[in-house]
Chain A
C-alpha cells in the first residue's frame, strides 16, 4: 500500500480523508486486514437456512461464502471455491442439497465441506489418476469459523479472534439480544446497489445527525427528530454503535419551531391519508422506537417503529457496494402485526420513504470527493477529542469511533491516536 500512515490530519478522526473512499490499494488491504482480519462478520440468519441441507450464498468482503445447515442441524460456512481448480461450486443463491458438487470436474464435497469424491482418482486400467500420495482429507473446502448467536450466523477467517460476545460488547448484546429474543419469521429481502465506497454506508448508519435532515419523512412523522429523547452510543472499543430515539418525546410544535429556526423546515408538515404507516406499536421494555445498530464490519440491525431488519453490506470494489435488507417479524405475530410490518417495510430499503435518500447522498459524496483526494470531511458534531456516548443525536461521535477501530486494524493509526 502507498503510505497512508500519515493520512490522518487529527488523532481524534475528526477529519476523514477523502482518499480512503477512493484508493484501490486501501481497498485491497481492507480485504486482508478487515474482512479476513480479527473480526466477526454477519453471514446471515439461521432462519434463512431452517432445514437440514439448506444453504445460502453470501459474501465476506470480496470472498464468496456459503453458509449451510448439515444433516445433523449444525451450521457451518465455507468459501465457495473448489479446492481443485478454483471454480465456484454453488451456483444458485440458495437451495437445499445433500452434498456440493463442482460442475467442472465433478469433485464432490460433504455438507461439512470435506472432499468426499474425486472422479477417477485412481485412473482407469491403472493409467492416469492422482498420485498415490494424494490425500483427499487435505483438499476440503476452505472453512470459516462459525458461531450462531441469537439466530444470527457470524463467521470469521481467523482462529485468534476474541469471543463473539466480547467482540460485540454489552450494548449490542443487550439490544440485538432483545430484538432477537423471540423466534423470528422472515418477511422478505430488499437489495440496493450504491455507487459509493462501502465505508460511507458504515459511516451513514453511525451518523446520528443526518436522520431528520436528509430524511424529511422522519422529521415530518416524528420517527426521528433531534428534538426527541435520543442518543448515539458505542461499545467500549467504539467499533459498533447504536443510534436511537423515542417517538412521542417531543411535540410537533416545538420540533417545527426548532427546525424552522434553523432553516430546515419550510412550511407545514404534510399529512398521510393512512397514518398507520407511521404508527409505532410498542413492543419492547423501554419503548424505544428507533434503533440503528451497526456491527463492525458488515452489518446493521434496525428497528424503525415496527419494521425489524438486519442489513448485510457487501463491498463491490472501491466505488460500489450492495446493501441487502433482510426484514423479519416474529413467529408469534398475529396476521395484523405481520401486515403492519409488511406495510412498514415501505419505510426502508431502496424505495424506503425514510431510507431511499441514503444511496443518493452517498453517491453525492463519492462523486464530489473523487477529484480531491487530499481533502477531508469534517466530523465534529457532538465534540472532538475523546469519544463518548451522548444522549443526543446532534452527534457524529460514532463515525469517529468507526474510523478509530478501522485504523487500528489497518495499521494506520496516527500518533497518539484516540481509541
Chain B
C-alpha cells in the first residue's frame, strides 16, 4: 500500500512529465508514460455527450499509440509549431487497487514559427493511472476536448 501523499506526488509527476515530453517533442519518452496494456483517446466533447465512440485519435492499444508517433515522425506533414501544455491541479477521484482515477484540466497554447501564439484547445484529461513502487503510468488517458472544432489540424498528441 502506497501512502496517499505518495500517490498524489507520483500522479502529478506523471501528468506534468507527459505534458513536458510533448512540448519538447520527446514523443518517444511520452510513449513510455503508458503501460504496455493501455489506451489513448482524444475525444471531442460532442461525441461524448451523444454517446458516440469516434475520437480524433483513438488508440486502443500501446501498439496503436506507437503507430501514431511513428506516422508523425515519418509520414505526416503538419503545421510547424511549438506547443505549451498548461495543466491545472489534478483531482484524484478514487484509488482502487493500485489504479488512480484522476481528472486534470488543460489548455494548449500553440505558437507558430513566426512567434505568434494562440490558444489551441481546452479540455480535461480523464486518466486511469497505475501507481507502483517505482512510479506511475497511464493505463488509460482520455483527453476530452471542449475545443472540438479543431483549428487547422491536430497532429501532435494532446
Q: Write the nearest CB–CB distance from A314 to chain B, whole angstroms.
A: 10
B152 touches A194 (CB 8 A): yes
Which of B46, B58, B71, B153 lies at the interface centre, i.e. has the most chain A CB atoms within 10 A of its CB?
A: B153
Q: Which of A92-109 contact B (CB under 8 A)?
A: 93-94
Task: Note all chain A residues with C-beta closer than 8 A to B50.
Answer: 94, 186, 188-189
Nearest CB to that of B56 among chain A residues? Answer: A351
A274 touches B61 (CB 8 A): yes
Total A-B contacts with CB atoms under 8 angstroms apart:
122
Task: Note all chain A residues with C-beta closer than 8 A to B29.
Answer: none
Q: How large is the interface on B (under 10, 10 to 19, 20 to 34, 35 or more residues)?
A: 35 or more
Scan B26-56; emit 1 where CB is below 8 A from any A CB, else 0. 0000000000000000101011001011111
B75 touches A353 (CB 8 A): yes
B64 touches A274 (CB 8 A): yes
- On whether A351 and B42 interact (CB within 8 A), knowing A189-B47, A189-B54, A190-B54, the answer reads yes
A-B CB contact pairs (8 Å), 13 listed: A186-B52, A188-B47, A189-B148, A190-B56, A192-B150, A217-B71, A220-B75, A270-B74, A272-B70, A339-B60, A345-B58, A353-B71, A360-B153
Is the C-beta of B154 less than 8 angstroms from some C-beta in chain A? yes
B152 touches A357 (CB 8 A): no
B58 touches A274 (CB 8 A): no
Q: Write the nearest CB–CB distance from B142 to chain A, whole angstroms.
A: 14
Q: Write the nearest CB–CB distance from A321 to chain B, whole angstroms.
A: 11
Q: How long is the Cα–Cα vector from A269 to B25 in the complex, in angstroms?
A: 23
Q: Which of A340-388 contact B (CB under 8 A)?
A: 342-343, 345-346, 349-351, 353, 356-357, 359-360, 363
Nearest CB to that of A338 among chain B residues? Answer: B53
- On whether A356 and B78 interact (CB within 8 A), knowing A193-B150, A272-B70, A351-B153, the answer reads yes
Q: How long is the Cα–Cα vector from A357 to B71 in the complex, in angstroms?
A: 13
The contact of A189 among B52, B63, B74, B152, by CB within 8 Å, is: B52
Q: How long is the Cα–Cα vector from A191 to B46 in the complex, in angstroms?
A: 10
B53 touches A190 (CB 8 A): no
The contact of B155 among A187, A277, A345, A351, by CB within 8 Å, is: A351
Task: Note all chain B residues with C-beta closer than 8 A to A359.
Answer: 152-153
Is the C-beta of B117 less than 8 angstroms from some C-beta in chain A? no
The contact of B54 among A187, A195, A350, by CB within 8 Å, is: A187
The contact of A270 among B46, B60, B70, B150, by CB within 8 Å, is: B70
Nearest CB to that of B66 among chain A residues? Answer: A273
Q: How long is the Cα–Cα vector from A356 to B60 in the complex, in angstroms?
A: 20
- On whether A189 and B150 interact (CB within 8 A), knowing A274-B64, A345-B58, A360-B79, the answer reads no
Task: Note all chain B residues with C-beta closer than 8 A to A88.
Answer: none
Task: Note all chain A residues with C-beta closer than 8 A to B57.
Answer: 346, 351
B77 touches A349 (CB 8 A): no
Is the C-beta of B67 less than 8 angstroms from some C-beta in chain A? yes
A350 touches B64 (CB 8 A): no
A356 touches B53 (CB 8 A): no
A273 touches B52 (CB 8 A): no
A189 touches B66 (CB 8 A): no
Nearest CB to that of A361 among chain B residues? Answer: B77
Q: Write the nearest CB–CB distance from B77 to chain A, whole angstroms.
A: 5
Nearest CB to that of B70 among chain A residues? Answer: A270
A343 touches B60 (CB 8 A): yes
Q: How long is the Cα–Cα vector from A94 to B47 in the complex, in angstroms?
A: 12
Scan B133-158; emit 1 where CB is below 8 A from any A CB, else 0. 00000000000000011111111000
Scan A191-228; emit 1 where CB is below 8 A from any B CB, else 0. 11111000000000000000000101100100000000
A216 touches B75 (CB 8 A): yes
